[in-house]
């Protein structure tokens, strides 16, 4: 095989020297504090069996979509599932994409136009940033969850042009901090300046709301948000994503979102899994309550062990302890793993240097003993 170009070899060597070289992990049987499977849906035999029976009962025996949705891949399950999702989220329409990454890249590369402005939270996910980079619009970041800084930026940009089209972009739960913006204030601000508010709800689906509808619906703001991105690889335990919005927005995306147009659709089995997972979510109140209890217990227990100052404030399933330095945070993660707990270190450059952290993902199936034990060990390793 031909060797990697020297410039790329050098980049890999730099990563290794910085103790930040990524490697694919090996599957393990450790106690799960790492996955995004907040409700355990990915391993639910009930969902697996119901999906299989749904396909058999409806005589759907295809392994693939056979093409893009605009050619031959728009099987009827798409229509059924998108209608269910739209109703569940009290949205006019839903459009399924192959992944949350595809949804964000497709939206931000096609919707904001030249001379438009995108204002995005500085901690927005890489998929949002990548989509913005592909856009012809100008973009500016605002300080994390800082409404005052956002308003200052809007006023500065609008001074000489009152007719600007401005998109405000944030997440309802941030993937690397687990915190949330003040959504009601964001809506008020977007209405004040006639901006288009776009909210990624990847880590809120299945976690917030009586039936896990997400934070936007929890606050009753669904009619005041231009677009929501719902990702299924977290709380729903499967794959894919949907963009929620008006019929006009859906029509536009079908015509101009390249990550939707130029890719093979999801298989009938994948779409059926999404549908069954949503149906299960609608009746899965006890599972969601179990997750909420574990989040509350985790927050109480970290205070008990004197760890509160290490953690970013969060009421979500993502809890992050800031432990600066790649080497140090990797060492503590390794010690936790040696004691049976799958806790992952998040290193720079994934997060800014000095903001390296342990990321604890909580689940409905974690026991209080598991939570207490892992935090007791963390206290021991951090304060020794």
Q: Are residues 290 and 333 in the same domain?
A: yes
Rounded distance between C-alpha atoms, residue 169 and residue 196, angstroms: 8
Rounded distance between C-alpha atoms, residue 90 and residue 101, angstroms: 23
Whether the per-residue pLDDT at 384 is higher than 80: the answer is: no
Query: Secondary structure of the chain: what % helix, strand, coil (to 5)?
Result: 45, 15, 40
Neighbour-count burial for 184-205, b at 16+ CB within 10 Å, e otherwise: eebbebbeebebbbbbbbbbbb
Maximum Cα interatomic distance, the chain, rounded to a whole number of Å = 61
**Strand 196-200 relative to strand 227-231, pairing:** parallel
Q: Are residues 85 and 142 in the same domain?
A: yes
What is the pLDDT, as a whole number, of residue 27?
Answer: 85
What is the pLDDT, as a whole number, of residue 239?
Answer: 96
Q: Are residues 244 and 322 in the same domain?
A: no
Residue 239 forms part of a structural domain: yes
Q: pLDDT tens, 280-308?
A: 998 877 799 999 999 999 999 999 999 99
Q: Say what percent of the chain tops pLDDT 70.
A: 99
104-108, 159-163, 224-228, 286-290: which has the minimum mean pLDDT? 159-163
**Phi, psi values for residue 54, rounded to 5°:** -60, -45
pLDDT band at 146 (very low <50, low <70, confident <90, very high): very high
Residue with tokens 């990915």: 42
- Strand, helix or coil for residue 80: helix
Q: Are residues 149 and 211 in the same domain?
A: yes
Neighbour-count burial for 114-123, b at 16+ CB within 10 Å, e otherwise: eebbbbbbeb
Q: Are residues 252 and 146 in the same domain?
A: yes
Confirm if 314 and 320 have CB atoms less than 8 A apart.
yes
Tokens of 133: 């980079």
24-28, 34-38, 314-318: which has the minimum mean pLDDT? 24-28
Q: How many structural domains comprise the chain?
A: 2
- Strand, helix or coil for residue 215: helix
What is the pLDDT, as a whole number, of residue 159?
Answer: 78
**Phi, psi values for residue 333, rounded to 5°:** -60, -40
Residue 339 forms part of a structural domain: yes
Residue 355 forms part of a structural domain: yes
Rounded distance between C-alpha atoms, residue 337 and residue 339, angstroms: 5
Q: Are residues 256 and 326 in the same domain?
A: no
What is the pLDDT, as a whole number, of residue 349?
Answer: 87
Q: Are residues 226 and 295 in the same domain?
A: no
CATH code of the domain covering residue 259 = 3.40.640.10
Whether the per-residue pLDDT at 383 is higher than 90: the answer is: no
Residue 144 forms part of a structural domain: yes
What is the pLDDT, as a whole number, of residue 300?
Answer: 97
Domain boundary among 282, 310, 340: 282
pLDDT band at 177 (very low <50, low <70, confident <90, very high): very high
CATH code of the domain covering residue 330 = 3.90.1150.10
Across residues 344-369, what is the average pLDDT? 94
Across residues 129-142, what is the average pLDDT? 97
Domain boundary among 282, 302, 336: 282
Whether the per-residue pLDDT at 275 is higher than 80: the answer is: yes
Residue 111 forms part of a structural domain: yes
Average pLDDT, the chain: 95
Report the candidate in 189, 139, 195, 192 with the shortest Cα–Cα distance to residue 164.
195
Residue 7 forms part of a structural domain: no
Rounded distance between C-alpha atoms, residue 16 and residue 347, angstroms: 12
Q: pLDDT tens, 339-354?
A: 999 999 999 988 999 9
Q: Are residues 161 and 219 in the same domain?
A: yes
Confirm if 59 and 258 have CB atoms less than 8 A apart.
no
Domain boundary among 267, 282, 297: 282
159 by Cβ neighbours in 10 Å (0-12 / 13-18 / 19+) ranks as: exposed
Q: Are residues 295 and 223 in the same domain?
A: no
Residue 96 forms part of a structural domain: yes
Q: Could you give the C-alpha distances from 313 to 287, 305, 322, 359, in angstroms and in order? A: 24, 16, 11, 13
Residue 10 forms part of a structural domain: no
Q: Are residues 76 and 33 in the same domain?
A: no
pTM of the model: 0.95
Rounded distance between C-alpha atoms, residue 197 and residue 47, angstroms: 34
Q: Are residues 145 and 273 in the same domain?
A: yes
Q: Which domain holds residue 265?
A: 62-282
Q: Are residues 234 and 325 in the same domain?
A: no
């Amino acid at each position: 095989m031909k060797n990697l170009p020297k410039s790329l070899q050098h980049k890999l060597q730099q990563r290794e020297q910085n103790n930040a070289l990524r490697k694919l992990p090996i599957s393990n049987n450790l106690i799960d504090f790492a996955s995004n499977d907040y409700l355990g849906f990915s391993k639910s035999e009930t969902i697996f069996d119901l999906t299989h029976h749904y396909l058999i009962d409806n005589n759907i025996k295809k392994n693939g979509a056979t093409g893009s949705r605009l050619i031959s891949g728009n099987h009827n399950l798409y229509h059924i599932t998108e209608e269910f999702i739209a109703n569940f989220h009290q949205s006019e329409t839903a459009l399924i994409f192959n992944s949350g990454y595809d949804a964000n890249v497709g939206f931000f590369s096609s919707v904001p136009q030249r001379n438009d402005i995108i204002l995005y939270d500085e901690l927005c996910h890489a998929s949002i940033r990548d989509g913005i980079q592909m856009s012809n619009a100008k973009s500016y970041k605002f300080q994390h969850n800082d409404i005052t800084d956002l308003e200052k930026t809007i006023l500065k940009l609008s001074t000489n042009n009152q007719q600007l089209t401005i998109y405000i972009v944030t997440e309802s739960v941030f993937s690397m901090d687990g915190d949330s913006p003040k959504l009601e204030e964001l809506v008020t601000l977007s209405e004040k300046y006639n901006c288009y508010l776009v909210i990624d709800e990847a880590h809120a689906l299945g976690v917030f709301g009586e039936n896990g509808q997400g934070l936007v619906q929890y606050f009753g703001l669904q009619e005041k948000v231009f677009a929501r991105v719902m990702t299924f690889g977290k709380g729903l335990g499967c794959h894919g994503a949907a963009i929620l919005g008006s019929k006009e927005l859906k029509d536009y995306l079908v015509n101009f979102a390249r990550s939707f147009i130029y890719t093979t659709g999801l298989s009938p089995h994948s779409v059926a899994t999404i549908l069954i997972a949503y149906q299960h979510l609608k009746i899965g109140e006890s599972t969601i309550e179990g997750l909420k209890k574990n989040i509350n217990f985790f927050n109480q227990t970290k205070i008990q062990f004197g760890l509160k100052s290490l953690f970013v404030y969060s009421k979500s399933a993502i809890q992050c302890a800031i432990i600066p330095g790649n080497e140090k945070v990797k060492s503590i993660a390794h010690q936790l793993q040696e004691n049976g707990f799958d806790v992952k270190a998040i290193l720079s450059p994934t997060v800014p240097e000095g903001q390296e952290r342990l990321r604890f993902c909580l689940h409905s199936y974690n026991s209080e003993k598991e939570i207490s034990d892992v935090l007791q060990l963390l206290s021991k390793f951090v304060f020794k």
